[in-house]
Amino acid sequence: MLVAITRLVSPAINHCELTHLERVPIDVERARLQHHAYEETLSGLGVEVHSLPEEPHLPDSVFVEDTAIVFDECALLSRPGSEARRPEIESIARALAPYRKLFTLQAPATLDGGDVLTVGRTIFVGLSSRSNQSAIAQMQGFLKPYGYTVKSIRVTGCLHLKSAVTQVGTDMLLINPAWVDKLNFSGMKIIEIDPSEQYAANALMVGRTVLYQPVFPRTQARLEAAGITPLLVDESELGKAEGALTCCSLLFTAL
């Protein structure tokens, strides 16, 4: 069974961290309705959704992906690049403890889960403003016994690696080549986003289903041309907080 850990939208979301976007007002109630529809979509796909209570004093806490990376053998608690987000980790650790052995990154490592893309036994980690080389070295130490290969990738122009590339098939990636070099992913089939939709590279695979946002119709057409019919889910209000579909859940198999 697939499990998704999510969290309700904080009433403080308008005080979220921003790096690449100008601040514009977020409609909290609309964000909550969209996020609830996202959770309902996951449930409709057979995912067991565990929705954690809101964190009134942690504006970005709905973006649970940044707090941990879950593998079949263990889970790695991150150390977010924004110090203000580190209090989010404690409740996520409690939520994950029944499912996985937990490892924890230590200073000087910084890592946001949005910078981690796992494809099979290869883990691509974005070197961004939020994640550093020390985190990659510690990840290699934790995960080598389980047969994973960790590869670092330079990210420019966006917050996280998964802003620039996500998996949309067993051997297929959706990518914004302006933000990450597609040569890093040799052997994979590549779908490039439409250049007019620079934030369009974020999609969420749930089993064989690809969740995608309806605000990127030109890139959606490219997915469909490649044989992928996405299930559309709108999280556009959280996009004002530099969020996206992968950000809003920790998705893993209950073993």
Q: Between β-strands 102-104 and 116-119, what pairing exists: parallel, antiparallel or unpaired?
A: unpaired
160 catalytically annotated:
yes
Residue of 16, 35, 158, 247 marked catalytic: 247
Q: Which of 16, 35, 158, 160 is catalytic?
A: 160
Q: How far apart are CA 173 and CA 193, in angstroms?
A: 10
Residues in the chain: 255
* Cα distance between residue 55 and residue 13, in whole Å: 10
What does the alpha-carbon distance between residue 238 and residue 33 come to, in Å, rounded to a whole number?
11
The CA angle 7-12-18, to the nearest 5 degrees, is: 90
Q: Is 158 a catalytic residue?
A: no
CA distances from 111 to 39, 107, 118, 128, 136 (A): 25, 10, 15, 9, 8
Q: Catalytic site residues?
A: 160, 247
